[in-house]
A and B are shown apart, each in its own frame.
Chain A
Amino acid sequence: MSISVSLNTGVTGLMAAQTAMDTAAHNIANASTDGFSRQRVDFQAIPPPISAYSGMPGQNIGLGVDATNINRIRDLLLDGQYRQTNALDQQYTAQSSALQQLQALLNEPGDTGLQAQLANFFNAFRDLSGQPESLAARSAAIQQGQTLATAFNRVHNLLVQQQQDLDTGVVSLVAQVNSDAQQIAALNAQIKIAMVSGAQPNDLMDQRDLLLDKLAGLAGTVSTIQPDGSVTVTLGGQTLVAGNTANALTTVPDPSNNNLSKIIWQATSAPATVPSGQIAGTLAARDGNVAQMIGNIDALASNLISAVNAAHAAGYGLDNSTGLPFFTGTDAATIAVNPTLVGSPQSLATSDQPNQPGNGNAATNIANVQSALIMSGGTATLDDFYRTTIATLGVATQQAQTLQKNQDALVKQIDNQRQSVAGVSIDEEMTNLQKAQHAYEAAARVVEISDSMLDTLINHMLIP
């Protein structure tokens, strides 16, 4: 073995230590980076050339160290679990947050919600039944009617607004999905090129994994890694990303659903199913909870309108007007007090006979609508129905919050496990740096000594 070989061995030691230091430095710099997996160098001893195995002792010594690979430490199984669990968590969070908004909107139990307004309205008619001749009492009853109608209008508009906001959310989330899918496709291409040339594009793969995490959280996508290093992403069984191509999604108004957005594949116009994730949660809230609440409030308003109008039309005003409706409109959006009555309180029906100003029976009949079984197929009063609606909302919200909390804990646990495998520990990296530093110093000594030996050989032997 020649001294130059030892020199070379020393140099490989230097380069290996350098690589180790660079890797440790890279890990330390990215200790807080989202989605970063720690990297580790694979060192391999360089074996002696085959011809060196000549059977002579001292000949089969290796030629130093080679950094064969820089691997990222990551558990793909945990990644898959995390994405699945997080998708559900995002779904529950989206739904829970929408339900909490719904609760705040209705503001029950309280003194200003629909329940209190209904009570005030019927009480005004009870007052009226005791003093039907009083213009003040008539005006008060009409005004309470207007307050109630306005309350219904407001709740309806707020609900529709919330539905619209959720819809806008869906559209923007779909745009994010498209953007992420495109980026993944681009990364697939870059990673493939890098791998073909033998390199290990760890940071690109980290970026891609981060995007895959995000995408799963948005839409519950499933990703599988292909033998050529690219990742295929499927959404509800359909391919979203394959190799360098991303299939785009788009949203179109759905006439069968009040022109709210429907998600379809842009290329084929076929409907896209989103199994979980934030989009699924938002859609569930938009088409389920909020739509149901709108339906319930409308049913409440429409039954109130018909029952009160029936009782009112059968009665007589002070001016003997009869057959007039009290409310105009058909649902919570359109309910309003008949403008004829607003302009002429004398026409408000209070009596059940003509020409009897002291007769307040029609007003009593209107007040009794409060206890009439006119909801749920004749089994519930207006108050019962509204109370049940609110209680059901409370139960649904409670459930969603519990689901979210439990899922949060699950996600955290799996993320912890991921972090345990892939996370950077600064203590560990500092230790590695120390190791690399000593190795570098030692290798430098080897080079120095080899150099000194060469110098002795060349410059100090056989010199006369």
Chain B
Amino acid sequence: MRISDRMLTDTIRADLQSSLQNLSVLQNELATGKRINNPSDDPTGTAMAMRYSTDLSLNAEYQRLGNNAKGRLDAIDSALGNLDDVLQRARELAVQAANGTLSPVDEANIATEVNQLANQAIQLGNTNFGGVYLFGGTLTTTAPFTATGGATPTSVTYNGNTTPIVLSLGQGSSVQVDAPGNQAFLPAINALINLRNAVSGGNPQQAAAAAIGTIDNALDAVQAQRGDIGARTNGLTNLLSRMSDESTNLTALQSNIADADITDVITRLYSAQNVYQAALGAAAKVIQPTLADFLR
């Protein structure tokens, strides 16, 4: 085939360009650390990388929600624990009063302490955690318990409701994060008021003995609710642990798809550089001389 001068220069130009393009792609991969910089680099891979991205962000969000929920459940359990202590103390006092060996002064003291315990129980029932009342159901911005009678409450009203607060944690999992106050706190407060009235009343010994039963019922209710909360917390802990594992897996999968293998890219880059330089050298040799250089 006859070769014209332009054929030579055009071919050299095209080949150098193609070499440079190859270099440019490899440099970009190295600079971004990503194998997929455009959907056209790997369309299927792009779809998978995007999916992993979404899954990872969901996973992170649910972990956050889960941890917040766990904090809330812990606060609930702590308040219930305190309530349990309160009731245990009240029971001790009730047993003392039922003994019948106390003087009126002692009985008055017991009444005062039980009154304090009752007020404490009311305060516990109105626990506010991060701006939210824990024991009012979904009526979280109103104090669940209001007492009539000031410092010596005669009765208490539960202002909350029993609608559960359920948080969705993805893939069908959910967790209830509330504990309605009428399950444990209401009977507990009423039992305490009842005990105080019993000890301050006409027949303290007998009334106190009868009040022990009410307190025991209240204690059962508290323990039942605590058990429920405990079960939820366990489930949540397991779920959070699974989510953490899942996150590790997803991150690895995503990296496999989307990240560049740096060693591989560097090797290919060196190889491409060598090719380019060889092409430049060859071009220099070929492009210069014509017959005119050799004619006298």
Give the residue of B36, B69, B141, B167 whose beta carbon is less than 8 angstroms from that of A109.
B36
Q: Which of A134, A356, A386, A430 contacts B161 (CB 8 A)?
A: A356
The answer to whether the Cβ of A388 comes within 8 Å of any Cβ in the partner chain is yes
Across the interface, do A394 and B50 meet the contact criterion of CB distance under 8 Å?
no
Taking the complex as formed, is B64 at the interface, i.e. its CB lies under 8 A from any CB of chain A?
yes
Number of B residues near A (Cβ < 8 Å) is: 55
**At the interface, yes or no: A220 with Cβ under 8 Å from chain B?**
no
Question: Of B46, B58, B166, B292, which contacts A394 at CB under 8 A?
Answer: B46
The answer on a CB contact under 8 Å between B68 and A130 is: yes
Bound-state Cα–Cα, A100 to B38, Å? 9
Q: Return the CB mask of B1-22 against A: 1 if under 8 Å, else 0.
A: 1111111001100100000000
A92, chain B: closest CB distance, angstroms: 14
Q: Give min CB distance, B177 to chain A, whole Å.
A: 8
Q: Which residues of A contact B140 (CB under 8 A)?
A: 133, 357-358
Q: A123 contacts the other chain (Cβ, under 8 Å)? A: yes
A108 and B54 within 8 A (CB)? no
- B61 on the interface (CB 8 Å rule)? yes
Per the bound structure, the CA–CA distance linking A359 and B165 in Å amounts to 6
When each residue 161-201 of chain B gets 1 if its CB lies under 8 Å from chain A and 0 otherwise, what string results?
10101111000000001100000000000000000000000
A-B contact count (CB 8 A): 168
| Residue from the list A31, A358, A416, A427 in contact with B291, Cβ < 8 A | A427
- Once the chains are docked, how many angstroms separate the CA of A223 from the CA of B287? 35
A415 interface hit (Cβ, 8 Å): yes
Q: Produce 1/0 per residue, A390-401, CB < 8 A to B.
A: 111111011001
What's the Cα separation between A258 and B205 when bound, in Å?
A: 93
Interface size classification for chain A: 35 or more
Please judge, given known A-B contacts A133-B132, A390-B50, A430-B291, whether A356 and B44 are in contact too, CB under 8 Å.
Answer: no
Question: What residues of chain B lie closer than 8 Å to A431, measured between beta carbons?
Answer: 291
Give the segment of A236-244, A337-345, A418-426 that binds chain B.
Answer: A418-426
A351 at interface by CB-CB < 8 Å = yes
Measured between beta carbons, the chain B residues less than 8 angstroms from A388 are: 47
- Asked if B295 CB lies within 8 Å of chain A CBs, one says yes
**Given the known A-B contacts A416-B7, A419-B6, A430-B290, are A357 and B139 also in contact in the complex, defined by CB atoms under 8 Å?**
yes
CB of A421 to closest CB in B, whole Å: 7
Task: For B5, give its contact among A31, A357, A390 (CB under 8 Å).
Answer: A31
A212 to B207, CA, bound (A): 115
- Out of A131, A357, A390, A426, name the residue touching B39 (CB < 8 Å): A390
Chain A, 397-444, CB within 8 A of any chain B CB? 397-398, 401, 412, 415-417, 419-427, 430-431, 434
Q: A398-B43, A430-B290, A431-B291 are in contact. List 7 more A-B contacts (CB 8 A).
A: A100-B38, A109-B46, A123-B61, A129-B168, A131-B68, A412-B10, A416-B10
Q: Which residues of A contact B (CB under 8 A)?
A: 31-32, 38, 99-100, 103-104, 108-109, 115-116, 119-120, 123, 126-127, 129-131, 133-134, 351, 353, 355-361, 364, 367-368, 383, 386-388, 390-395, 397-398, 401, 412, 415-417, 419-427, 430-431, 434
Q: List 10 A-B contacts (CB under 8 A).
A: A31-B6, A99-B40, A100-B40, A127-B65, A355-B139, A364-B168, A391-B46, A422-B4, A426-B291, A430-B292
Residues in chain B within 8 A of chain A (CB atoms)? 1-7, 10-11, 14, 36, 38-44, 46-47, 49-51, 53-54, 57-58, 61-62, 64-65, 68-69, 130-132, 136-141, 161, 163, 165-168, 177-178, 258, 290-292, 295
